[in-house]
Structure 1
Amino acid sequence: MRCRINTDFRYQFEYPDRLPVAFIGAGGHSFRNVYPALQYLPVDLRAVCDVEKDRAAAYARMFGAPTYYADHREMLDRESPRAVLVVTGYDESGRVQATDIAADCLRAGAHVWTEKPTAASTEEVRELMELSAETGQFVMTGLKKVFTPAMEKVKAIISAEEFGPVSSVAVRYPQSMPPLADRQDLVAMRSFLDHIYHPAAVLNYLMGPVDRLSYEWEPVTGGSVTSLRFTSGAVGTMHLAAGSAGTSPLERVEVVGPGGNVVVENGVRITYYRAGSRGTYGRAPSFVVDDEVAPLMWEPEFSLGQLYNKNLFYLGYVPELLHFCEAVIAGRSAEKGTLADALAIMQLFELYRDLPPGVTGRPAIHD
């Protein structure tokens, strides 16, 4: 997997060939984080669609699309886009609107990038997988966390021979979960479904499939701590730290090997503690270790008008969308954010939905 480090990005107008795309959705999130990313992608935005036609018209005008629609099926029929970007919400029952929209796009012959979550059940993900195989078009889910420069660097570090086999991982993310009695209600589980994709995507990307898990839950904030074992034999924890201060950094990830560990704090600060000795206990006169084993640290400087200082880049939006566009142009499927990745995440979601605290459960990863 490529990790773009210190390579120049092209701007949209510099690409000689651009992918004809349509965009479904004209909400606040897409306005802030997805439409602006198009300026760095090899795309030609042909149409915008939203159920509120005035919003579709406004977004088309602002982001350079020549046409707009209120009905996505009409748009697909008239425009025949090669790829479609989907950023929508939930219906009144709590179902993910993008699931059916993605299916319509596949049937219309278009590849699909959709913001997470992909669906509200594993059954719906499997139906998309079957339809994708039938139509020859693929669906990619927006798993931005696994496209961040920080997480791609962690993956590169722990995959290197010098790091050795990963033994454990700890992921912290501030997310509440309702009481077990309410978890069959998709409306009550909406926030959990919307956000479990972030820490679960990181676990899946760095550690691979989960073999089993159990968790403890507390009722004051809805926070929980999960104990995990992965099929690799490694172990881990996921601390869903509901109730943590809004003034604190949201997340922390630490991966440990047989002598080294790497930590990501606040999504942008990476510290790689390389294997080395502190010196003989009671005899070491200095805390300064040799340069060849000294910790390495990376973080942005946030002063220059560089692309890496834009949240579109360090949060992973541009990298994930570029990955999608490059896959479509190359005639191959995406390598990350696949429906298989979405299925693994949804299997964890359904475990949390059905499993009582203190009971061990297994996701059906290989079924």
Structure 2
Amino acid sequence: MTVTYQFEYPERLRCAFVGAGGHSYRNVYPTFQYAPVDLVAVCDTDLDRARTYARTFGGGTAYADHHEMLAAERPDAVFVVTSYTAGGDVQATAIAEDCLRAGAHVWMEKPTAAGLAQLDRLQAAADETGRTVMTGLKKVFTPAAEKVKAIMTSPEFGTPTSISIRYPQALPAPADRGDDVAMIGFLDHIFHPAALFTYLMGPVRRLTYEWDSRTGASVSSMLFESGAVGTLHLAAGSATGAPLERVEVIGEGANVVVENGVRLTYYRRGTPLPYGRSGSFFTDDASAPLRWEPEFSLGQLYNKNLFYLGYVPEVLHFCESVLAGRPPEKGTLADVREILRLYELYRRVPAGQPAEVRPDIKAGS
């Protein structure tokens, strides 16, 4: 991946930004240094904060009302990074609808919506206006995830047969799962592992899980539409200083592992060492494991979290899709629908009870 700087692009999108919070300051506005974006306006309910962000990121005019901004600026695209309402709803969903109806394409941070009903309304607005909506599913844009996808689709890997993902997140107690406010943390973070499941393995057909009442940790067993199986370990209670994530995909005689998001090991298919007769653990070079991890000494872009966490790649994908007049391939509303199906299952299905993700579709159909 060779990176183009913002000023080098011959064509840029006129973009506005709704939201001036800490996450966007650290992780989204800075991506515009490497994307075809001309930031013309910043909006936040705190006008002073919007002005500060506009000065800091060269964002043109500041607004306190996104309706006023949309009418005055008529942007090509709008980035939306906001929070939740007092009732636990996702603020960005309604804002994104307003942007679509004003004629703008939308990139929005996850979560896209608080449920399938809200997503349906957003989908209807996108269909009606013919505008693109993309969600920042950063995990599927990380270099590690893209490398895993390339490996597991290679002939040598074989058909992917199973996957396991570890991610530290608590699932609230059953009595609290009907409370939108109590579920904010789970909604906010289930998007990460669920996006990886969909990207790497496709839709989930059936899910069952067990839940620990002390920490809120859970372990889920999944059957995918492809016939592959998987586990999701939501490892609440793990040490805060420990690496957060681990992903492993197993094929047919080969497997690939990503630890801490940046350390990837590909265990290639090879000749087994004879049991009881092997005096060395080394395999042939042609089938030896391959390992990649970044060095953090050079001032390279790949050492920036904006790149290895997927922020720049996802923003680039959105901008390039809009400029080319084609729909995005990842971060789509269809991807979000698969995630929200799982989220709603966790809300209503008790531990230990198998649940069909699409109960209206019979297995094998």
Same fold (TM over 0.5): yes
Q: Which residue of 2 aligns with 1:261?
A: 255
For residues 220 and 312 of structure 1, the distance between their equivalents in structure 2, rounded to whole angstroms, comes to 35
Classify 1:117/1:143 alpha carbon distance in 2 versus 1 (closer, same or farther; 3 Å).
Answer: same
SS in 1 for 2:166: strand
Tell me, yes or no, if structure 1 residue 325 matches structure 2 residue 319.
Answer: yes
**Identity score, percent:** 65
Q: Which residue of 2 aligns with 1:221?
A: 215
TM-score for the superposition, normalised by structure 1? 0.97
Q: Which residue of 2 aligns with 1:109?
A: 103
Matches within 5 A, 1:107-186: 107-186=101-180
Unpaired runs of 5+ residues, structure 2, are none
Tell me, yes or no, if structure 1 residue 23 matches structure 2 residue 21.
Answer: no
Tell me, yes or no, if structure 1 residue 300 matches structure 2 residue 294.
Answer: yes
Residue 126 of structure 1: CA displacement? 1.4
Letter of the 1:269 counterpart: R
For residues 70 and 187 of structure 1, the distance between their equivalents in structure 2, rounded to whole angstroms, comes to 25
Matches within 5 A, 1:275-354: 275-354=269-348
For residues 108 and 194 of structure 2, the distance between their equivalents in structure 1, rounded to whole angstroms, comes to 17
Unpaired runs of 5+ residues, structure 1, are 1-6
Matches within 5 A, 1:221-260: 221-260=215-254
Q: Report Cα offsets for 1:296-315 as digits up to 9, x if no partner.
A: 00100111000000000000
Q: Which residue of 1 aligns with 2:63?
A: 69
Q: Which residue of 1 aligns with 2:268?
A: 274
Residue 46 of structure 1: CA displacement? 0.5
How many residues align? The count is 361
For residues 360 and 29 of structure 2, the distance between their equivalents in structure 1, rounded to whole angstroms, comes to 36
For residues 73 and 228 of structure 2, the distance between their equivalents in structure 1, rounded to whole angstroms, comes to 48
For residues 49 and 179 of structure 1, the distance between their equivalents in structure 2, rounded to whole angstroms, comes to 37
Root-mean-square deviation (CA, aligned residues, Å) is: 1.0
Letter of the 1:270 counterpart: L
Q: Which residue of 1 aligns with 2:358?
A: 364
Q: Which residue of 2 aligns with 1:4?
A: none
Matches within 5 A, 1:74-85: 74-85=68-79
SS in 2 for 1:170: strand
Q: Report Cα offsets for 1:86-114 as digits up to 9, x if no partner.
A: 00000000000000000000000000000
Tell me, yes or no, if structure 1 residue 196 matches structure 2 residue 186.
Answer: no
After TM superposition, the runs of 4+ consecutive aligned structure 1 residues lying more than 2 A away are 364-367
8 Å contact 1:24–1:84 — kept in the other structure?
yes
For residues 263 and 192 of structure 2, the distance between their equivalents in structure 1, rounded to whole angstroms, comes to 18
